[in-house]
Chain A
């Protein structure tokens, strides 16, 4: 029964296969907004923005931070390709906090030579990391 509602999920990053296995539901944020994916979703390719993904598998929910990449929903499986993704326990809180401060300072300085988009992305990433690290602690 449970198996009929599941689909195959693969999350792949350049240096490892991050997650591979069945899932009941996947929640993820794309450039167009948040989506939840169940079995038999229509085929879709979407770009991701930094977010926390929730992987539900047999009542168990796993969280992970995904910083970029794209998702491909195929008929028989769902593939997420991401250049960087992390489990909560892999996140270095202190480093994320420092990165957040750095990015904020950069954005405030308003230097025109600066790559604003990049600083903003860095800030978003660090916020996601902190949020996920905080979640897993409480």
Chain B
């Protein structure tokens, strides 16, 4: 049986770890509130953007546009028309449960061949993990994850759009964690470019009867395809920004959960050790008493 001193030392170390995890949980909770508010504020913008892109695609019918999927897509041949790009959004810091590894798994477990993939990393953890697995890191925006502003998203967006236009990459994906609620965060892989125009059109058509807006003819200034040229980069930026904000909310949610369970584990261990400590103390007292009595008996 471990000595009393050992148990005591262990207990102290666990309780100080418990204090740290508790403090981290509180910090994560506060950050989560902030991040949640921010994610909610960015939603209307994104939703309107999505609607606008959908309605342009719908009203103008099929357009032959480089940023839209060609009708009979035969694009999925590796090496043709450049690599595939993934914008991987993770955190800079660990201790957030499975948050980072889930995203990494999403990328490595999918059909992304390290030789055929370019990674635009936001967040150090994901970047390191993917670099270890042999993925090529095109660019690192880890600074942006601390306090994402729209300019960060726009910078990433401009960069990938440029590479797309130059033909260095043929598809752009976004790997991030959707914040559903405080306890559930869903790692998601989303294709952002080329825009799946067919899918968007179908989605719109499923929704019930046509509204007034569908029946009126929309005018475009400049012409629809030119407008699309200008809107799609904005659409991509807003997607990235939305992903950043929701990912941060998820990160803090995940960290809060992880720290919460760590704190409760520490408490369990402490109560376990408390029991052991008391038992050891009692054993020591009993032993001392027996020794004293035996000594006294020997003298008399």
- Is A75 within 8 A of B212, CB to CB? yes
Judge if A72 is at the interface, Cβ distance under 8 Å: yes
Q: How many residues of B contact A (CB 8 A)?
A: 29
Given A14-B42, A15-B41, A45 contacting B48 (CB threshold 8 A): no
A61 within 8 A of B: no
The reply on B300 being an interface residue by CB < 8 A is no
Cβ contacts under 8 Å, B230 to chain A: 47, 70
- Interfacial residues of chain A within 29-48, with CB under 8 A of chain B in the complex: 30-32, 42-47
Q: Does B213 contact A (CB under 8 A)?
A: yes
Whether B227 contacts A70 by the Cβ 8 Å rule is: yes
**Nearest-CB residue, chain A, relative to B222:** A31
User: Are the C-beta atoms of B218 and A45 separated by less than 8 Å?
Assistant: yes
Given known A14-B241, A31-B221, contact A75–B216 (CB-CB < 8 A)? yes
Contacts of A69 in B (CB 8 A): 234
Number of A-B contacts (CB under 8 A): 76
Q: Does A51 contact B (CB under 8 A)?
A: no
Residue of A nearest to B47 (CB): A12
Chain A residues close to B by CB (< 8 Å):
10, 12-17, 30-32, 42-47, 69-70, 72, 74-76, 79, 81, 83-84
What is the minimal beta-carbon distance from A57 to any residue of chain B, in angstroms?
20
- Contact of A45 with B237 at beta-carbon distance under 8 Å, contacts A31-B222, A74-B213 already known: no
Chain A residues with CB under 8 Å of B213's CB are: 43, 74-75
In the docked arrangement, what's the CA distance between A75 and B52, Å? 14
A14 with B52, Cβ < 8 A, contacts A32-B222, A47-B230, A70-B231 known: no
